[in-house]
Amino acid sequence: MIFHKGSKVWVQDKDLVWVDAEVIGSSSNGIIHLITVSGKTVVSSPEELLARDADEDEHGGVEDMTRLAYLNEPGVLYNLRRRYVLNDIYTYTGSILIAVNPFTNLPHLYNTHMMEQYKGAPLGELSPHVFAVADASYRAMMNEGKSQSILVSGESGAGKTETTKLIMQYLTYVGGRAAGGDDRTVEQQVLESNPLLEAFGNARTVRNDNSSRFGKFVEIQFDSNGRISGAAIRTYLLERSRVVQITDPERNYHCFYQLCASERDAEKYKLAHPSHFHYLNQSKVYELDGVRNSEEYVNTRRAMHVVGISNEDQEAIFRVLAAILHLGNIEFSPGKEHDSSVIKDEKSRFHMQMAANLFMCDVDLLLATLSTRSIQTREGCIIKALDCNAAVAGRDVLAKTVYARLFDWLVDKINRSVGQDINSQMQIGVLDIYGFECFKDNSFEQFCINFANEKLQQHFNEHVFKMEQEEYSKEEINWSYIEFVDNQDVLDLIEKKPIGIIALLDEACMFPRSTHETFSTKLFHHCKSHPRLEKEKFSQTDFTMSHYAGKVTYHTDTFLDKNRDYVVVEHCNLLSLSKCPFVSGLFPLLAEESSRSSYKFSSVASRFKQQLQALMETLKSTEPHYVRCVKPNSLNQPQVFDNASVRHQLRCGGVLEAIRISLAGYPTRRTYSEFVDRYGVIAPEYMDGSYDDKVATEKILQRLKLENFQLGRTKVFLRAGQIGILDSKRAEVLDNAAKCIQRRLRTFVAHRDFISVRAATVSLQACCRGCIARKMYATIQETSAVISIQKYIRMWLMSQAYLKLYSSAIIIQSHVRGFATRQRILHGREHKAATFIQACWRMSEVRSAFKQYQASILAVQCLWRCRQARKELRRLKQEANESGALRLAKSKLEKQLEELTWRLHLEKKIRVSNEEAKQAEISRLKKVIEALNLELDVAKLATINECNKNAVLQNQLKLSVNEKPTLERELFEMEEVRKENALLKGSLDAFEKKYAALELELMNAQKSCNETVEKLREFEQKCSQLERNVKSLEENVLSLEDENHVLRQKAISAPPKSNRPGLAKSFSEKHSSAIASRAERKPLFESPTPTKHTTPFTLAMSDSHRSRLTTERNQDNYEFLSRCIKENLGFKNGKPLAACIIYKSLLHWHAFEFERTTIFDYIIEGINEAVKVRDDGFVLPYWLSNTSALLCLLQRNIRSNGFLTTATQRHAGSPGLTIWTGHGLKSSLKSHGYDDGMSHVEARYPAILFKQQLTACVEKIFGLIRDNLKKELSPLLGLCIQAPKTGRVHGGKLSRSPGGLPQQSPGGQWDNIVNFLDSLMRQLRENHVPSFFIRKLVTQVFSFINITLFNSLLLRRECCTFSNGEYVKSGLAELEKWIVNAKEEYAGTSWHELNYIRQAVGFLVIHQKRRKSLKEIRQDLCPALTVRQIYRISTMYWDDKYGTQSVSNEVVSEMRELVSKDNQNLASNSFLLDDDLSIPFSAEDIDIALPAIDPDDVDLPAFLSEYPCAQFLISNQK
């Protein structure tokens, strides 16, 4: 690529890896001179430089790195860095997610609301997130029915475990737990096993203190409904050789050090410091920084309890670990016989005895299995002695075998604890495995690990290439000739038979006398020509292999020893006979056939290869998803980004390899609109609107003669390097345009200066000539006067003097005028010469840039200048011939006139500015006065309300005092609860005293408004105490319900008591004629359980006749009510007919007078069924109007007629009286706004129960309407949050879409919102829904609009643009017009509900954001937004219209500090808004807000005449 002066490039740096620089020149030998961003000047060759897009520096990085203009290593590195600084830790590379560990809490990214946002969202629609990857895997599993896998990779400390936890947390959220499962989630159960697996499977390596030495595959199982049904943890590739052999400064597995640090167990198992054990002292590192082994031992024990390991098994596990340590200290010396061995010394014998005791086996048998081998032959069993080396090898084999089986037992135990679903057909697996390793000394372990990573990288490459193919196929482009970047040659070198490294290693291990030298020699002999294998220069046995992540040099000294893994049958038989059930369970008895051979040779590399192949088959059977975790620094500190470390991890994680695969195809992809917007300046002739974007793109590329590009359905695909050519051409065009603008500007400035100088010169000349003329005129006048006075006296003398003086003056004037004329001519010549020189110079400059316009421009300029010069010359000659005296006088007068005019204008301007300042001050003071008047009115209104509330409270006090004697009489009649009555009396006395004190306080409150507020607060506290007292009373009464039931049974057969004074009033004067027959109708709605007094009239009637009459009347009533509910009866003068008819029927049937009745339940069930039948937009509003009206009628009748109190008092023995009394007080307080959480009365009174059911029904219908509106509104809002792409307008032509149809106007989507709101308002008003409900509905709809738009704005970077802000702002203006037209009666405070989105959009569209301080933003621009929300918008904002920048870096840093502090406050850490699903009103609010309804003045439907039970309605109407 060719770099020009001013090109933006990346140059390598020793410390920062890559730095951005600018080309300042180049030398003749091709060396390029650059200046870095730090001001340092460097030189480099073109091959070492990489292109950089300067436009990307203005943004906070791109969310998908495939959208980078230059997809290269420094571009990826610095894009991650820019996003990391802004706490955007997730970034896509296609479908791959890169997660950078922030080393700080970011709880706002992981709450439930965030999971809800990503639920069902397509990958890439919202900001990058691990939830998006988890959701994509879950949706793919449910849609395709195919198992998925998520491969989480990265070095230790990069956040793999936390990422795995978040993935499982999200899968638990979207999938849920199948019925009958444990209370703990799968995520919790799997994570609770992590400390145990880390203790037995993690160890310290050269780079990490807690490196995982095995692979973990967490398989989450789902049932057919997508609910989690189980889980399993599968482990792979445990590094067994680490048990017996480690290198300095690494460590063995953590569990050994933890056991040695345990005081009680270490003493019990005769353990000491790790330095005393051979398996641990091969490295001098025994402790880890910041980790205490004793505490970790306690944590491991706790984890064992969590997963369900019993205490006996725990003891057995640590006994086995101690045995392994003692086993490693057993040393052998040569025996008496040839090739035999014996225990070396007493110390070894002690460790032998301890190992046998811990294994619970015979010590002699243990010694025999270690020092001898039995060979089974046809003649019998032959015992062969082993030399010292073979005995040590057998000892190590036993240790490795025991540890491996112990680890497998732990994994199996964890799986049983978690619970597996063997019938599951769909799984999502999460793989957490060690990453690529490259140390200073690399041995057999690194070879195996890197082999596994090569396999995974091949799988990764295939997936990436498959994604590339899917993208190309989706865009319908030809990709058949694209080469697949593969690492199969490395895998063949490692595993291919018969000359692969593993095959050669196994062959060498089969021969006892083979050494690492013979293995290396054979390897170099067979593979010396392989391009991936190199021989180390300074070693005869080491070799270097070129992996995908770089070259690694392996030392083969221990390859053979670590690859040999003998399974000795004697070892298995010995431990299977152990007296410890746990140890014997690890080694089940072998079959007879398998026990014939003493040695079972097993290659570690071959077994590793088989396990790896099984893992690859598991992964290939699933659809993979990749998460690459990156550790930004080794200090584990936030906001520290180490470029070198991150680059190494990107290489090891295969991210740069994926980029290399992309570069092999079409690394640069742009949508046609983006391409034309950026590169349309190259060919402006195609931008006149006559071409669509695709054709214009093709024309531009053809004009530049680019080849091998592909045009897809929606994107253009460019080969590597082509984007650089386009940017170079674009930069050239923009540079030429800038030069042209500069040239024209300089011409304008020079012309303007010339005009100014010329005007000044003319003015100066006029002044000089005027002065000279005035002097000459004075001299002539004086001379004339002297001559006139003295002409007769000094005629002759003065005549002579005059003549002499006159001639002298003429001579002087002629010389002066001649000199002035010569000067003017000389100046004219100089000016003409300068003009000619300038013309020549400009002509020379223009010729180099515009050769095609040279002749015409020069001709025009020359003609114009000649014409001006001739005009100037003629004017000068004409002026020279005019009379000097007149010119001087005229110039003097003109100057005076100009001075006077200037002074007049100046005075006018000063006067106008003073008047404007006064007017502004007056208007400001008027606004202040208006605001103060409004505040005064509000204060007055509050005072009046407080006075009204005081009066209401006084009435309530009187009512409470009147009800107190009734309560006392009722309590005295309960003989069996005397002790409880004493407590109740005390409560009532306290209640009376508190009310008396409250009356005194209310009298004093009328004097001062401030005192009234304080006393009302005290009253609320005392009401709370009263509520607790009444609740206590209710609980005491309910505890004696059984005893009261006996009293009620006795009262059934007893005659009714004499009516008390004042309690025998009729229910209503309107129904006075029905009193005599009331007893006959009473059983119609009574519960089968007798709980009330019955009247004697029932004795005259047989039981069968009464039952039949009751059934017939109930059936008739139910049919009538069912028809009223099912049919749409409409409205009369805004009153719902159904509600009025139902209410009048219940009133006429005296349904409210009985303790229990099923008719109310029938009505409620009928309404619920009617609502469920259909929803055409009119059913729900219709029933909202009817149910609210029925509820209002019921509430107001209770307060006005008091029939429920009468019906209750009529039965003195009923214990429910106390409940009604308490409820009467509660409802009174509620109706006036003093309810502080009192619950409704029990459902034993029909009116109260029916009111509760109606209230719930109203709330349910309101909620259904609201939820339906949100469902219909959500897709419309999804189209409104982002401005649609509009056609480009050039030359007055409208661009058309490829189909030839004009594109939809940007305001069309907002028109749909307005039409939706109009339809909603029309439906509600047609069904006469009260304005109270309409206002609440519209308010909640606008609140939902605010929440949806605001959350989408914060989650989608493409929405945080200047043009999108203008688009949304115009839409909000349409909503404001709708609110104004709807008026406050229906719209209420809807406009204030849009505060968040209005302020956010206002912030997007303001100019000069960099000049705004944080205080100005928080107080003036976005007072409702939190700092976290402002920070999110500021970091995501980019100006796609004018190219301006967001807020300053100082403001961003200040906000970042505040956000970091707020992270500790879990209640305020989310930047998203939560949707309020509560019902915004209560039954009392409905009662207060709804107008009074008269149920009499209605038109009855015709079908009433068909029902006998409804005849009273027709007769009353007549």
Question: Which range is least confidently modeled, 126-140, 192-206, 390-404, 555-569?
Answer: 555-569
User: Which of 1168, 1196, 1194, 1205 has the alpha carbon at shortest distance from 1183?
Assistant: 1168
- Alpha carbon distance 1196, 973 (integer Å): 32
Tokens 């400064």 -> residue = 249
Span 795-802, average pLDDT: 82
The predicted structure's pLDDT at residue 970: 65
Look at strands 426-432 and 148-153 and give their pairing. Answer: parallel
Whether 1280 contacts 1310, CB under 8 Å: yes
pLDDT in tens, 1312-1343: 888 889 888 888 888 888 888 888 889 989 99
Most confident of 740-744, 1042-1046, 1159-1163, 1296-1300: 740-744
Name which residue leads in pLDDT, 1137 or 1020: 1137
E-state strands within 1117-1224: 1131-1132, 1135-1136
Q: Is it the case that residue 320 has pLDDT exceeding 90?
A: yes
DSSP category for residue 1287: P
Q: Is it the case that residue 1092 has pLDDT exceeding 60?
A: no
The predicted structure's pLDDT at residue 1016: 67
Q: Is it the case that residue 280 has pLDDT exceeding 90?
A: yes
Residues 6+ apart with CB under 8 A from 1319: 1177
The predicted structure's pLDDT at residue 812: 93
Question: Which range is least confidently modeled, 581-585, 815-819, 975-979, 1199-1203?
Answer: 1199-1203
pLDDT-derived band at 99 (thresholds 50, 70, 90) equals very high
Whether 138 contacts 428, CB under 8 Å: yes
Binding-site residues for ATP: 154-161
Most confident of 957-971, 1026-1040, 1371-1385, 1440-1454: 1371-1385
- Alpha carbon distance 541, 556 (integer Å): 6
pLDDT in tens, 498-525: 788 988 888 888 887 788 888 888 888 8
Residues 6+ apart with CB under 8 A from 730: 678, 679, 681, 682
Whether 1203 contacts 1068, CB under 8 Å: yes
User: Which of 1137, 1240, 1252 has the alpha carbon at shortest distance from 1191?
Assistant: 1252
Q: The whole model's pTM is what?
A: 0.60
The predicted structure's pLDDT at residue 968: 67
Name which residue leads in pLDDT, 242 or 669: 242
- Alpha carbon distance 34, 43 (integer Å): 6
Residues 6+ apart with CB under 8 A from 962: none
Summary mean pLDDT of the chain: 78
Residues 6+ apart with CB under 8 A from 1034: 1218, 1219, 1222, 1242
Question: Which range is least confidently modeled, 203-207, 309-313, 629-633, 762-766?
Answer: 203-207
- Alpha carbon distance 668, 252 (integer Å): 48
Q: Is it the case that residue 362 has pLDDT exceeding 60?
A: yes
The predicted structure's pLDDT at residue 687: 81
pLDDT-derived band at 325 (thresholds 50, 70, 90) equals very high
Type of residue found at 604: V
The predicted structure's pLDDT at residue 1223: 38
Q: Is it the case that residue 768 has pLDDT exceeding 90?
A: yes
Q: Which amino acids are annotated catalytic?
A: 156-157, 161, 208, 211-212, 435, 437
- Alpha carbon distance 1406, 1110 (integer Å): 76
Q: Is it the case that residue 180 has pLDDT exceeding 60?
A: no
Look at strands 381-385 and 372-376 and give their pairing. Answer: antiparallel
The predicted structure's pLDDT at residue 381: 74
Type of residue found at 544: T
pLDDT-derived band at 774 (thresholds 50, 70, 90) equals very high
The predicted structure's pLDDT at residue 907: 79
Name which residue leads in pLDDT, 462 or 633: 633
The predicted structure's pLDDT at residue 1480: 77
Span 1175-1188, average pLDDT: 78
Span 1082-1106, average pLDDT: 37
pLDDT-derived band at 375 (thresholds 50, 70, 90) equals confident
The predicted structure's pLDDT at residue 473: 76
Tokens 């004097």 -> residue = 1007
Q: Is it the case that residue 946 has pLDDT exceeding 70?
A: yes
The predicted structure's pLDDT at residue 327: 93
The 10 Å Cβ neighbour count of residue 838 is 14
Span 1124-1131, average pLDDT: 79
Question: Which range is least confidently modeled, 275-284, 763-772, 815-824, 1170-1179?
Answer: 1170-1179
The predicted structure's pLDDT at residue 116: 84
Q: Is it the case that residue 1041 has pLDDT exceeding 70?
A: no
Cross-strand partners of 403: none
CA 262 to chain centre: 45
Question: Which range is least confidently modeled, 76-90, 392-406, 706-720, 1485-1499?
Answer: 1485-1499
Q: Is it the case that residue 1300 has pLDDT exceeding 50?
A: no
The predicted structure's pLDDT at residue 1170: 80
Span 311-332, average pLDDT: 93
- Alpha carbon distance 444, 559 (integer Å): 5
The encoded tokens of residue 1136 equal: 């719902």
The predicted structure's pLDDT at residue 740: 92
Q: Is it the case that residue 1236 has pLDDT exceeding 60?
A: no
- Alpha carbon distance 1002, 1019 (integer Å): 10
Binding-site residues: 154-161
SS3 1156: coil
Q: Is it the case that residue 1468 has pLDDT exceeding 60?
A: no
Name which residue leads in pLDDT, 171 or 731: 171
Span 1264-1285, average pLDDT: 81
pLDDT-derived band at 42 (thresholds 50, 70, 90) equals confident
Percentage of the residues of the chain whose pLDDT score is greater than 70: 80
Sheet holding 228-236, edge to edge: 90-93, 96-100, 623-630, 148-153, 426-432, 215-222, 228-236
Q: How many H-runs (helices) and E-runs (strands) does the chain carry? A: 51, 30
Question: Which range is least confidently modeled, 658-667, 942-951, 1458-1467?
Answer: 1458-1467
The terminus-to-terminus CA distance of the chain in angstroms comes to 100
CA 123 to chain centre: 13
Q: Is it the case that residue 96 has pLDDT exceeding 80?
A: yes
Q: Is it the case that residue 876 has pLDDT exceeding 70?
A: yes
Question: Which range is least confidently modeled, 107-111, 130-134, 702-706, 1418-1422?
Answer: 107-111
The predicted structure's pLDDT at residue 137: 92
Q: Is it the case that residue 1128 has pLDDT exceeding 60?
A: yes
Residues 6+ apart with CB under 8 A from 1429: 1354, 1396, 1400, 1422, 1471
Span 435-444, average pLDDT: 82
CA dihedral 825, 831, 832, 834 (to 10 degrees): 150
